[in-house]
Amino acid sequence: MTKKSNVFYFIPYTFWLLLFVVAPLVLIVYQSFFTVDGQFTLDNYQAYFQSGTYLRMTLNSFWYAFLITLFTLLISYPTAYLLNKTKHKQLWLLLIILPTWINLLLKAYAFIGIFSANGTVNDFLAFVGIGRQQILFTDFSFLAVATYIEIPFMILPIFNALEEMNPSFIRASRDLGANNFETFRRVIFPLTLTGVKSGVQAVFIPSLSLFMLTRLIGGNRVITLGTAIEQHFLVTQNWGMGSTIGVVLIIAMILIMLFTGEKKKKGVAHK
Q: Which residues are 34's β-sheet partners? A: 40
Beta carbon of residue 200, minimum distance to another protein (angstroms, whole number)? 10
Nearest distance, CB of residue 130 and another protein, angstroms: 19
Q: Can you tell me the distance from the alpha carbon of 248 to that of 241, in angstroms, rounded to the nearest whole number?
A: 11
40 DSSP β-pair partners: 34
Q: Among 62, 106, 115, which residue's Cα sits nearest to residue 223?
A: 62
Please report how close the Cβ of residue 185 comes to another protein at its closest, in angstroms.
Answer: 16
Cα–Cα distance, 24 to 135 (Å, whole number): 40
Report the C-alpha gap between 246 and 29 in whole angstroms: 9
Query: CA-CA distance, 67 to 128, in Å (whole number)?
Result: 30
CA distance 241 to 266: 39
CB closer to another protein, 26 vs 130 = 26
